[in-house]
Amino acid sequence: MRAMIDCRTEPARYRHWRLAVEPPMANLTLAVDERGGLNDGYELKLNSYDLAVDIELADAVQRLRFEHPEVGCVLLTSGHPRVFSAGANIRMLAQASHELKVNFCKFTNETRLAMEDAATCSGQRYLCAIAGQAAGGGYELALACERILLVDDGASAVALPEVPLLGVLPGTGGLTRLTDKRKVRRDHADVFCTLEEGMRGQRALDWRLVDGLVPRSRWHEAIRTEALAMAGGGRPANGIRLRPLARDLSAEAMHYDHLDVSLNRTRRTASFRLRGPDRPAPAGAAAALAAGDSFWPLALARQLDDALLHLRLNEPELGVWLFRSEGALDQVAAYDSFMADAGEDWFLREVRLYWKRVLKRLDLSARSLLALVEPGSCFAGTLLEIVLGADRGYMLASGWQGDNRTEPQVALSPLNFGAYPMPHGLTRLAARNLDGTEALGRLQAMVGRPLPGAAALASGLVTFAPDEIDWADEVRLAVEERSGYSPDALTGMEASLRFGGPETMESKIFARLSAWQNWLFQRPNAGGSRGALARYGSGQRPDFDFRRT
């Protein structure tokens, strides 16, 4: 039985990365421990990686944003001579379950998008310095950086060799970043992706695969100079400490300070209950910073993020996620107003950006999402995004007889109108109203107003608003129905319906990851006993079925 995967870590526990902060820059060095893989049965040679390596990278990226806002440039290098990274470990991929492979690719790309988000939204830019071979996922990691420098020594190269070597493709965004981000010509990309040895030197620069060539004699001086130039100035001085995340985990439940998740294996459901704040919003940005990681919106975001990852990686059979909340609607709304009015205060900006990433992770989770708005709920503003992003939202039309809690209400805030875009660039309100902006204008006029069931239904904020008599049956039937359908069909349906409208580089990456990698990983040409993954390094050629489908 596979051991539980825990995404919680901290720099003192890293086995694969070294983080050194020298304001205004930081050095993030990949030095993979060959024996530090997530599972037995493979060695992480040549700085190849598995999910254990990526969990540490995700933690480092997050900590740099909150603990070290003074850092303006992160220099990404290798701690091993003559190799940057050989990419995802092939032995790991060959033995991993299908769902672990897909979740690994998804988590890896979410982390790389967080690096790009840091550069775009927080001014914390990434510079990748490649001395040696950067192949496959190793080069994809470089592609997530704003700039790439390559040592010009006649041997160091970049490559995406998955097609000729493995019978798969650069599945964590490599192809899309080549064309959409780096503007590599299609024909050049075609040649590059079919060269097992990759490209080096002047051609790599001419074809936009890297941004600069540096002779080995000037290597260390040049990359440091470039990093300092990218870092700029005017950064915040003091960050906060992200303390270890407390979690009480059992076979039936997960408990955090502001979140409980109950697991029902018979019904194949996970039920989230998010709790509102237990104290009023701070008086100002300085008070929020002083609260640090106990600031309620940040604390809840960290807990929800951890719960989502735990369920994704460890509970694949719990296919229906139910979301409830409890607390004072007006207090949640007050926190939202406080964060919306904070302007460019760095800490509150990072909290909003973190919520954006957590909500995107929810959007991209291959689970059925049902939101339940009941008496005592506090789905306002940021928390209302969970209802808006759900596949269906159920809201009780009024209170329950004999229940003295407040009747179900929801409330919009300014943050619902731009702070939390989905992967395809639209807000969740806009994604619900693809036919134009008239409905959005009416909704903006409702900001700050508590809306009961009938008003929320009429405004398009929920799907159904049953009365007390029908509530239990409607919810039960929805859950039973969802739990009984083919999970493959549901994943395809939900992923298609959640992202209507335009596309971005980000949405293209995940759409192609879901479709191409799900299909390719299961085809015998890649994953079969005589396929490319199984025979890699054995000296035997893979046995391909050459029919095109």
Report pLDDT for 547.
86
Q: Which pTM value belongs to this model? A: 0.96
| Domains within the chain, CATH numbers bracketed | 11-231 (3.90.226.10), 248-498 (3.90.226.10)
pLDDT tens digit sequence for 380-438: 999 999 999 999 999 999 888 888 898 999 999 999 999 999 999 999 999 999 987 78
Taking the CB of residue 210, how many other CB atoms lie within 10 A of it? 27
pLDDT tens digit sequence for 330-383: 999 999 999 999 888 999 999 999 999 999 999 999 999 999 999 999 999 999
Residue 220 has pLDDT above 70, yes or no: yes
Using alpha carbons, select from 292, 227, 235 the residue that is nearest to residue 70.
Answer: 235
Query: Strands of 157-159's sheet, edge to edge?
Result: 83-85, 133-135, 157-159
pLDDT tens digit sequence for 285-327: 999 999 999 999 999 999 999 999 999 999 999 999 999 999 9
State how far the alpha carbon of 324 is from the alpha carbons of 160, 316, 501, in Å: 44, 21, 28
Q: Give Rg (Cα) of the chain.
A: 24
Residue 494 has pLDDT above 60, yes or no: yes
Report pLDDT for 188.
98
Residue 465 has pLDDT above 80, yes or no: yes
Average pLDDT over residues 83-108: 91
DSSP of 211-272: SEEE-GGGHHHHHHHHHHHHH-S---S-----PPPP-EE-SSEEE-SSEEEEEETTTTEEEE
Q: What's the whole-number average pLDDT of the chain?
A: 94
Share of the chain above pLDDT 90, in %: 84
Instruction: With cut-offs at 50, 70 and 90, classify the pLDDT of residue 517.
Output: low
